[in-house]
Structure 1
Amino acid sequence: MTTLTALRHRDFRMLVAGTTTSALGNAITPIALAFAVLDLGGSASELGLVVAAFALAEVVTTLFGGVLGDRLPRKVMMEGSAAGSALTQLLIAASLIAGFATIPMIGVIGALNGCLAALSQPSSRAMTRLTVPEADLGSAVAVRALLQTSASTVGFALGGVLVAVVGSGWAIGVDAVTYTIAAICFSRLRVEQAAPEGERSSMLADLGEGAREVFAHTWLWLLIGQALLYHLFYGGAQSVLGPIVVGGEFGRSAWGLAMGTLMAGFVVGGVVCLRWRPRRGLFVGTALLSLTALFPLAMALSDQLWVVLLGAFLHGFGLQIFDVSWDLSIQQNVDPDKLARVYSFDVVGSFVARPAGMALTGPIATVVGFQEWLVVVGCVMGGSALLSLASRDVRHLVRQDLVQSAESGSGDPEASPAAV
């Protein structure tokens, strides 16, 4: 199997064209939004509230997005969300360019944008399985992750440049264009999604069924809990403290460079995932997830930009290898008809505490000290990942494609350098 075999399938190409394009714009917006709030006179606490509004709206809406993604055509969910997001981003861009933007206005529109994104996110992640045959699923997961993070790498670096050269409004306008392109790509998907069998139950019953599927897999609910801690602490460190600490020490373009370097780590990790197929991929990914601690620690403890960039790179590298292993573990071990709901519980469980973390980071860091709080963040991130390895289910979950390969007599999967 070649590393890029999934790209032979037209629907997969349409899917990744849309998700990759929107990933480019979505990497620009957080940088532009942060400096837009600061330019309007916002404090660290106000910036935290703005990004928390987006995150809270996303979390609240995601569970419904998961149920709808298992009930309705996922293509329609993705298409409508992208079109709506294009309009909301265009409104924010116009308000900043024309000079009538206010911090509350940005917060409200950002919350609406979060709702739109949440409605389609479970459908988007579950769509991968509908665009390729089972044999190419591993390749599809790795390729999609690599292309999206490559686009985000460019977007983060471009975001810092655009904000410095043309301003935040025009930078967010680019995101509106990318959402429009994504909507066009999603409209061209030709996928067949089986309709739910039997009599349609209530949304609450569907949610309960999805929750039971999550708790049926110890590795699944345990690592969702780990992700909750990760985002509770890191969300504010990146969205609030990062632009202030790095931007204040090295200049605004340096924060865009740091985000671009983080995404470069994602890209390198994605390339590694194309060729490296560890039998116990979830164990390896979780161990490397502890590298994410190095970014906040570097921001806190070093006055050298190259150290911060190295921490950002290793953060992205470890997180990408974990993400690919995590996504493939879900795709291979969860019932297809519950996939969107499980992804919605993944998102909600992982991000439910993120809005609180964003809102509280500014006040807490102001009292404790920005550098001191970044040290706490790094310790929690690294320690929670390593603690998760105590679970036997995390350590011993085996990739299903390698099991099938071994059973068919194709050789020792652990010794094979073959690509995903």
Structure 2
Amino acid sequence: MATWALPFLMGFAVSNGVLSSVVLGSSLAIRTVGFLIAVPIGGILADRLGSRRILFASGLIAAGGTVLMMHYLGANDVCAQMVFALGMFLSGAGQGACRPAYQAIVPMLVAPKNLQSANAALSLAVRATNLTGPAAATLLAATAGLNVAFVAIALLWLLSAMLPPWPQTPHTDRSPGDARRTLLNRIADDLAEGFREALRHSWFVAGLGALALVIGAGYSVTSVLLPVLSNQVYDGPVLLTGCTMALLCGAMAGALTVARWQPDYRGRWAIGGLCIYGFVPLSLLVPEHFWIPLIAYFIAGWGLELFNVIWFTAIQQEVSPDKLARVSSLDFIVSYGLAPVGLSAIGPLSVHFGATPILLAASVICIGAASLALAIPSSSYFSTETAGTPSPGRREK
């Protein structure tokens, strides 16, 4: 809730004249930088020190950053603005550090046979907070003021730090040469070790490549062009709102689907679900037929959630536990890191070529990327070790 509430709270500050749109854009960019820097560092520290310690530290860091933002919100002094930017950076860093730690702690708390159900529950919670977080923050800011809303977000981060249980976790022993290496060398070596572990799983490399292309091309195209088409055809956010809600409802339906269902050939189902997003750009070729984009978005949301839950479960089952957080951080870096590139490129490309060619190209990229991922034999199972076994989704390690 804290994660999704903050951008809307910042937007509320802009609408009330407390912040300018320029400060809002730069602040959110600083937050993203903090997120991307903290994701790999959080993964390294979670593998070395234990995921629960990183969850605790990341919650405190994000809460502290939120307090700094509240105190210096709308300040005109240069030093105060720098402290405000630091608060945004810390907020993003706390969010980024906790992501791989959350993925790595799940197998410590959940029995192997229940991993997929647990990931479905977590995914369902995330989708629910997509709605409740922004709505609650905006309502609180409108009724009690911005400072109260910022305090609430800080308290949510503190709860996130305190509430999860503390499982017994094995720590990675330091080698005798660790003390003689610089901090940067240790970070680089740990990242390289996580990268090698990721490369050991060909299905992970193929799936991550497909996911990056779907986010960078398909998701970016629809995010930029959907508001434009909504304004052009419906003279307002009617189509934008409808498609956003349809995607969210479809995602929640997908999470409920895989909460109990563990399919044979789970990789085929997951990548097939990812492939469905390729039909969303095609549906936007006929935005005047309101129900066609809505149905496409609903089915795409279902497919994306099918992919997400099975994908996270497979990573938790197949990746070595002492490298799980680092591999998860690689997943988040590629997923989130490439999205701004696509978002920044779509606008100029659509102006130069027009919306129709861009939508068609995005559809081809999404469907083609998923098809190529399935060409890797282990992608059918999301398991290198059990290729040829029809039901790795039910396998216990």
TM tier, smaller: 0.7 to 0.9
Give me the whole-angstrom Cα distance separating, in 2, the residues matched to 1:294 and 1:101.
49
Matches within 5 A, 1:361-372: 361-369=346-354
Residue correspondences, number: 375
- Do the aligned partners of 1:51 and 1:107 also contact (CA within 8 Å) in 2? no
| Structure 1 residue runs without a partner (length 5+) | 1-23, 406-420
- Do the aligned partners of 1:95 and 1:169 also contact (CA within 8 Å) in 2? no
- Do the aligned partners of 1:296 and 1:377 also contact (CA within 8 Å) in 2? yes
Give me the whole-angstrom Cα distance separating, in 1, the residues matched to 2:261 and 2:242.
28
How far residue 62 of structure 1 moved from its aligned partner, in angstroms, is: 1.7
AA aligned opposite 1:350: S
| Structure 2 residue runs without a partner (length 5+) | 179-185, 383-389
Per-residue CA deviation, residues 138-179 of structure 1 (Å, 9 max, x unaligned), is 3322322223223335447x3898599889969974655543
Structure 1 partner of 2:380: 395
Give me the whole-angstrom Cα distance separating, in 1, the residues matched to 2:258 and 2:50.
30
Q: Secondary structure at the match of 2:43?
A: helix
Structure 2 partner of 1:133: 111
How far residue 387 of structure 1 moved from its aligned partner, in angstroms, is: 2.7
Shift in alpha-carbon separation, 1:307–1:250, aligned structure 2, 3 A: farther
Structure 1 partner of 2:128: 150
Per-residue CA deviation, residues 244-264 of structure 1 (Å, 9 max, x unaligned), is 554674645764554333221
TM-score when scaled to structure 1? Answer: 0.74
Structure 2 partner of 1:203: 187
How far residue 343 of structure 1 moved from its aligned partner, in angstroms, is: 0.6
1:192 aligns with 2:172: no
Shift in alpha-carbon separation, 1:180–1:304, aligned structure 2, 3 A: farther
Shift in alpha-carbon separation, 1:113–1:230, aligned structure 2, 3 A: farther
Shift in alpha-carbon separation, 1:317–1:99, aligned structure 2, 3 A: farther
Give me the whole-angstrom Cα distance separating, in 2, the residues matched to 1:52 and 1:91.
17
AA aligned opposite 1:76: R
Per-residue CA deviation, residues 17-40 of structure 1 (Å, 9 max, x unaligned), is xxxxxxx34344456667877997
Matches within 5 A, 1:84-233: 84-89=61-66, 110-155=88-133, 158=135, 173=150, 175-176=153-154, 178-186=156-164, 189-197=165-173, 199=175, 201=178, 202-233=186-217
- Do the aligned partners of 1:57 and 1:111 also contact (CA within 8 Å) in 2? yes
Shift in alpha-carbon separation, 1:306–1:99, aligned structure 2, 3 A: farther
Q: Secondary structure at the match of 1:301?
A: coil
Give me the whole-angstrom Cα distance separating, in 2, the residues matched to 1:101 and 1:213.
47
Shift in alpha-carbon separation, 1:164–1:175, aligned structure 2, 3 A: closer
Give me the whole-angstrom Cα distance separating, in 1, the residues matched to 2:332 and 2:245.
24
AA aligned opposite 2:175: E
Structure 2 partner of 1:61: 38
Q: Which structure has the higher relative contact order (CA within 8 Å, separation 6+)?
A: 1
The correspondence for 1:261, drawn from 246, 259, 269, is 246
Q: Percent identity?
A: 25
How far residue 273 of structure 1 moved from its aligned partner, in angstroms, is: 0.3
Give me the whole-angstrom Cα distance separating, in 2, the residues matched to 1:26 and 1:287.
29
How far residue 312 of structure 1 moved from its aligned partner, in angstroms, is: 2.5
Matches within 5 A, 1:246-395: 246=230, 249=234, 251-252=236-237, 255-256=240-241, 258-369=243-354, 373-395=358-380
AA aligned opposite 1:131: L
Shift in alpha-carbon separation, 1:250–1:274, aligned structure 2, 3 A: farther
Per-residue CA deviation, residues 11-58 of structure 1 (Å, 9 max, x unaligned), is xxxxxxxxxxxxx34344456667877997759xx9987755544443
- Do the aligned partners of 1:299 and 1:374 also contact (CA within 8 Å) in 2? yes
Q: Secondary structure at the match of 1:194?
A: coil
AA aligned opposite 2:350: A
Give me the whole-angstrom Cα distance separating, in 2, the residues matched to 1:224 and 1:292.
15
Shift in alpha-carbon separation, 1:79–1:31, aligned structure 2, 3 A: same
Shift in alpha-carbon separation, 1:384–1:79, aligned structure 2, 3 A: same
- Do the aligned partners of 1:55 and 1:355 also contact (CA within 8 Å) in 2? no
Deviates further, 163-172 or 383-392: 163-172
Give me the whole-angstrom Cα distance separating, in 2, the residues matched to 1:33 and 1:300.
33
How far residue 275 of structure 1 moved from its aligned partner, in angstroms, is: 2.3
Structure 1 partner of 2:385: none
Shift in alpha-carbon separation, 1:36–1:66, aligned structure 2, 3 A: same
- Do the aligned partners of 2:214 and 2:277 also contact (CA within 8 Å) in 1? no
- Do the aligned partners of 1:95 and 1:101 also contact (CA within 8 Å) in 2? no
- Do the aligned partners of 2:270 and 2:310 also contact (CA within 8 Å) in 1? yes
Per-residue CA deviation, residues 195-229 of structure 1 (Å, 9 max, x unaligned), is 11352642222222111111111101111112222
- Do the aligned partners of 1:142 and 1:273 also contact (CA within 8 Å) in 2? yes
TM-score when scaled to structure 2? Answer: 0.77
How far residue 286 of structure 1 moved from its aligned partner, in angstroms, is: 0.3
Q: Secondary structure at the match of 1:223?
A: helix
- Do the aligned partners of 2:212 and 2:338 also contact (CA within 8 Å) in 1? yes
- Do the aligned partners of 2:116 and 2:309 also contact (CA within 8 Å) in 1? no
The correspondence for 1:78, drawn from 6, 30, 55, is 55
Give me the whole-angstrom Cα distance separating, in 2, the residues matched to 1:386 and 1:304.
29
